[in-house]
Structure 1
Amino acid sequence: MTTIIAGHFQLQDQVDSARQALRDAGFPDERISSFYLNQPGQHDTHELGGDRTLSPGAKESPEGLAKGAATGGAIGAAVGAATVPLTGPLGPVVGGLVGAHVGSLYSFSHMKERGEPEQGSGENMVEPRKAGMMIAVAVEDGDEGRAVQTLRDLGANHIEKAEGSIVNGDWTDFNPLSLPQLVH
C-alpha cells in the first residue's frame, strides 16, 4: 500500500485538467486514477442494494420499536382486561394489539431527525464523501506536499489522504464508505 492524495471536483473538465497538471508535476499516468463517486447510499456495495443493511440514522429503530410495542401491548392488555365486562373476552387481546401498535408508533418519536448528529458523535465528526468527480494520485516519500499543492492550486475540494493501491490508473481498494482523512 502507498499513500494516496485525492481531490474532489464537480466537472469532468476539471479532472482532465488536474490529470494533466499532475503529469506535468512529474507523476506517472499509471499512478493517477480518476472516477465518478456516487451519492452516499448508491454505491451498491450491499448484496440487497445500497450501502448498508441499516441506515445510520435508523440503527436503534428495531430496539426502540420492540420496547414501544412491548410497553404499549402490556398497557393495552391491562386496559382491555379492566374492560372485560364491557368488551368481553376479546377485550385484553384487542387492547394488547392496539396498545402494541400505538407503542410502536410512539417509538418513532425517538428516531434521529435529518441532519441531527448521531448519539455519541462529536462536532468534529467527518462527513462522508459527496458525489462528484475524484482524482487520486499514489505518491512516494516526499511527493505528498507537491500533490496536495497541485490539487489545491486547481481548486480541488476536500483534498484527502488515504492508504491504498493505484494499479494501472485504477484505485483498486477504494472504499466509498470510509470516512476521508481531510488534509485541506
Structure 2
Amino acid sequence: MSLIVAGRFTTFPAAEAAAQQLFDRGFIEEDVTLFFVNPPGQHSRHAHDHSVQMTAAPPIHAASGHGATIGAVAGAAAGVAIFMAFAASLPVVIIAAGVGAYLGLRIGPSLQARSAHAGHHERVHREFRNSGVLVAVHVSNDNQFDAAAILREAGASDLERASGHWQQGRWADFDPTTTPVPLGDLSQQHA
C-alpha cells in the first residue's frame, strides 16, 4: 500500500496550478495525478463493486420463492386450524387447507418482498466526499507534510490522507464512496 495525500479544488485550472507547484518543489509527474470526483450519489457502480453487493436488495424471484413457500404453509395451517375448530368433516378440512395454501401462495411473496424492500432502506449508503477536482500525491512519511502544505498554499480544501494502490502514475484503487480521512489534524500535529 502507498501513502497518498490529496486535496480538492473547484476547477481544473486551479488543480493544474497546484500540480505545477508540486513539480516546481521537486515532486515528479509519476507521483501526482488529478481527476474529477462526481457529486455524492452520482458515482458509477459496477456489479463487481463490493460495496454495492453488500447493500443490494435480494432478487425478486428469490424473495418470491421463499415467500411463496412460507405463505403456502402458513395458509394451509391457518385453513386447517380454522375448520378444525368448528369440527368440520375431513373433506372440508382438506379443501380449507388447499384454499389457505393457495391464498398464502399468492400473498406470501408480496409480504416477503415488502420486508426485503424495507430492510434495504435501512442499509442506505452515505457518501461524505465533496465533488471537485482531486489532486492526489504519492508521498512518503518524509514528504507527506510538504505535499499537504503545497496543496494548502495552492488553495486546496478537504485535504486528506489515504492508503491505497499507486500504479502507473495514478491512484488505482480510489473509491469516491469511501469517507475521506482528513489531514487537518495530522498536519497540525507535525507543525
TM range (shorter): 0.5 to 0.7
Listed as ranges, the matches of 1:131-146 within 5 Å are 131-146=131-146
- Kept in 1: contact 2:56–2:120 (CA 8 A): yes
TM-score of the superposition, structure 2-length normalised? 0.63
Which residue in the other structure is 1:121 paired with? none
Does structure 1 retain, via aligned residues, the 8 Å contact 2:5–2:147?
yes
Q: Aligned runs of 1:9-88 on 2, under 5 Å?
A: 9-38=9-38, 42-46=43-47, 51-52=49-50, 54-58=52-56, 61=58, 65=63, 69=67, 71-81=70-80, 82=82, 85=92, 88=95
Cα 1:88–1:71, aligned 2, differ >3 Å: closer, same or farther? closer
Is the Cα contact below 8 Å between 2:6 and 2:161 reproduced in 1? yes
Residue 110 in 1 paired to residue 111 in 2? no
Cα distance change, pair 37–65 in 1 and its aligned pair in 2 (3 A): same
Please give the secondary structure, in 2, of the residue aligned with 1:174: coil
Equivalent positions of 1:85-164 (< 5 A) are 85=92, 88=95, 90-107=98-115, 108-113=117-122, 127=127, 129-153=129-153, 154-164=155-165
The amino acid of 1:4's aligned partner reads I
Mark the structure with the bigger radius of gyration: 2
TM-score under structure 1 length normalisation: 0.65
Structure 2 unaligned blocks of 5 or more: 84-90, 185-191
Q: Structure 1's 33 and 178: CA in aligned 2 closer, same or farther, altered over 3 A?
A: same
- CA offsets, 1:71-115, max 9 Å, x none? 444322323444684994741331221231243144133333475
Q: Calculate percent identity across the aligned residue pairs.
A: 22
Which runs of 5 or more residues in structure 1 are unaligned?
A: 118-126
Query: What's the RMSD between the two structures over aligned residues?
Result: 3.9
Q: Report the number of matched residues.
A: 168
Q: Is the 8 A contact 2:5 2:160 kept in 1?
A: yes
Moved more, 74-83 or 14-23: 74-83
